[in-house]
């Protein structure tokens, strides 16, 4: 459940719907599903078994499990920590938006407003640099405080109540969405493969998203694997979590797209999509204040269970490597994440790096987001697959995989996937994205 809490987060609720919207739905969703099962899940299993075998944080895991003269593999552990830090720096800006929407919901901000005015409220927030900083500070403070005190029991307790609550509310909203007039259009947007709309860059994004929503390539799953027992079933855990993750991603989209098509909003709104659409629906329903506040509290919670896990990985890494205390690690890393996040929090306002977007094509927030989730995560994940498939000692690999599972028949297909399909697939997609090869022309 804890691993599920970490995996299910803003990736499914916030990122999946807007990236799907930007990439034209249909084929993109199909690519995401294929990548999840052929690439994401095998790497997820690899991370779990590596963590369980080494019983350490990522840097220690790659160091301990690498053969004697190949200890440089620990750089991969640092690269995972770097990806975590980078992702956390802008992820908490988005979680800050959810905190802000919780307060705005409490103040009934949609009252008496038209649908267009309600979705415009996001632009007000996005362009207010100081307000973004404030919420970002509060959210990182919350994450740091929890990790600082190490109150895992409390988190576990609340996870068991609030995660199912999130699922129930998502299901309820989804059922309501099916009654909206735009539902069938939304359904075919998400599920009907529409050739021509998916570009090569979309493939790379689908791959990044498959890694992001499963939390692979950041070291989180390695760390959680290190807490697993020899009797725990790794393949089963991986399939269960992947299915839950996909379910939440699809539910979130099937809630959001009917609103878009019913109220004439645009599917290509980008990172603000979740915040621009759902309040429009809440305003139409009875009990707006309660519904909207509860929903955004649950989004904050889903984000928090994810950020805590990442912060734990980072703190575990510095305590293990530098011998710092947990408290020192939490405070310093919390500060670092906040400082790194400042340009992202100020992206919409243009208070910092004003010319960034004009010079590099995307604003700072979008640049860090794009770089980390489309390039860094898949690269890390591929090297993890190579490590598990080729570098890890043969006997160790076999026992690590088969201990605790009844699904022994999965070992060979898994090995084939991590050895061949993952590296070759990811490299092809990356070569295509960088324009070195053109798959369309070859086919
Ligand atoms: N799987 C997580 C999600 O979808 O939200 C990925 C994640 C990102 C976890 C950032 C934690 C985090 F701080």
Residue by residue, pLDDT tens for the chain (443 residues) are 778 888 899 999 999 999 999 999 999 999 999 999 999 999 999 999 999 999 999 999 999 999 999 999 999 999 999 999 999 999 999 999 999 999 999 999 999 999 999 999 999 999 999 999 999 999 999 999 988 887 566 666 777 777 888 888 889 889 988 999 999 999 999 999 877 777 777 888 899 999 999 999 999 999 889 988 999 999 999 999 999 999 999 999 999 999 999 988 889 989 999 999 999 989 988 889 998 999 999 899 899 989 988 998 899 899 989 999 989 999 999 999 999 999 999 999 988 988 888 888 899 999 999 999 888 999 999 999 999 999 999 999 999 999 999 999 999 999 999 999 999 988 988 888 777 877 767 65
Q: Taking the CA of residue 96 as centre, how many other CA atoms within 13 Å lie in the half-sphere pointing to its CB?
A: 28
Q: Which atom of ligand 1 is nearest to 12's Cα?
A: 4
Q: What is the pLDDT of residue 166?
A: 84
The answer to whether the CB of 213 is under 6 A from ligand 1 is: yes
Q: What is the pLDDT of residue 151?
A: 56
The answer to whether the CB of 17 is under 6 A from ligand 1 is: no
The CATH number that applies at residue 304 is 1.10.4160
Rounded to the nearest whole angstrom, what is the distance from the C-alpha of residue 69 to the centroid of ligand 1? 34
Q: Give the global pTM.
A: 0.93
Domain count, the chain: 1
Enclosing domain of residue 377? 2-442
Q: Which atom of ligand 1 is nearest to 214's Cα?
A: 1
Q: What is the pLDDT of residue 443?
A: 59
Q: What is the pLDDT of residue 227?
A: 86
Rounded to the nearest whole angstrom, what is the distance from the C-alpha of residue 403 to the centroid of ligand 1? 28
Q: Which atom of ligand 1 is nearest to 311's Cα?
A: 13
Rounded to the nearest whole angstrom, what is the distance from the C-alpha of residue 8 to the centroid of ligand 1? 7
Q: What is the pLDDT of residue 92?
A: 97
The answer to whether the CB of 306 is under 6 A from ligand 1 is: yes
The answer to whether the CB of 215 is under 6 A from ligand 1 is: yes
The answer to whether the CB of 143 is under 6 A from ligand 1 is: no
Q: Which atom of ligand 1 is nearest to 215's Cα?
A: 1
């Amino acid at each position: 459940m804890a691993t599920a809490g970490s995996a299910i987060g803003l990736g499914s609720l916030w990122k999946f719907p807007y990236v799907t919207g930007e990439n034209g739905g249909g084929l993109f969703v199909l690519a995401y599903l294929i990548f999840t099962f052929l690439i994401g899940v095998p790497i997820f299993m690899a991370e779990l078994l590596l963590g369980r075998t080494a019983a350490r944080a990522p840097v220690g895991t790659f160091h301990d499990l690498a053969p004697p003269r190949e200890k440089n593999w620990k750089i991969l552990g640092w690269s995972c920590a770097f990806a975590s830090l980078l992702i956390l720096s802008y992820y908490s800006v988005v979680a800050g938006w959810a905190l802000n929407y919780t307060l705005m919901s409490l103040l009934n901000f949609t009252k008496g407003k038209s649908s267009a005015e309600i979705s415009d409220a996001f632009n007000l927030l996005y362009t207010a640099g100081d307000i973004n900083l404030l919420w970002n500070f509060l959210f990182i403070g919350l994450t740091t405080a929890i990790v600082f005190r190490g109150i895992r029991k409390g988190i576990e307790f609340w996870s068991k109540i609030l995660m199912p609550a999130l699922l129930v509310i998502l299901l309820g909203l989804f059922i309501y969405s099916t009654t909206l007039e735009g539902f069938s259009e939304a359904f075919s947007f998400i599920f009907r493969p529409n050739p021509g709309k998916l570009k090569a860059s979309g493939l790379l994004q689908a791959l990044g998203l498959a890694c992001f929503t499963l939390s692979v390539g950041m070291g989180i799953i390695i760390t959680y694997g290190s807490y697993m027992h020899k009797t725990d079933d790794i393949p089963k855990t991986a399939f269960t979590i992947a299915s839950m993750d996909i379910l939440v991603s699809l539910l979130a989209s099937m809630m959001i797209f009917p609103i878009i098509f019913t109220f004439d909003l645009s599917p290509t709104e980008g990172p603000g999509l979740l915040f621009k659409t759902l309040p429009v629906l809440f305003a139409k329903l009875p009990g707006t204040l309660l519904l909207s506040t509860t929903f955004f509290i649950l989004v904050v919670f889903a984000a928090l269970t994810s950020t805590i896990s990442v912060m734990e990985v980072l703190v575990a890494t510095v305590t293990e490597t530098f011998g710092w205390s947990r408290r020192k690690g939490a405070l310093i890393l919390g500060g670092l994440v906040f400082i790194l996040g400042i340009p992202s929090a100020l992206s919409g306002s243009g208070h910092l790096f004003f010319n960034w977007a004009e010079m590099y094509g995307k604003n700072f927030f979008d640049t860090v987001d794009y770089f980390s989730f489309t390039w860094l995560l898949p690269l890390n994940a591929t090297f993890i697959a190579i490590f598990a498939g080729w570098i890890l000692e043969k006997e160790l690999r076999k026992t690590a995989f088969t201990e605790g599972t009844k699904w022994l028949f999965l070992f060979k297909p898994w090995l084939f996937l991590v050895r061949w399909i993952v590296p070759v697939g990811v490299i092809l997609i990356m070569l295509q994205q960088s324009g070195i090869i053109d798959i369309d022309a070859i086919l």
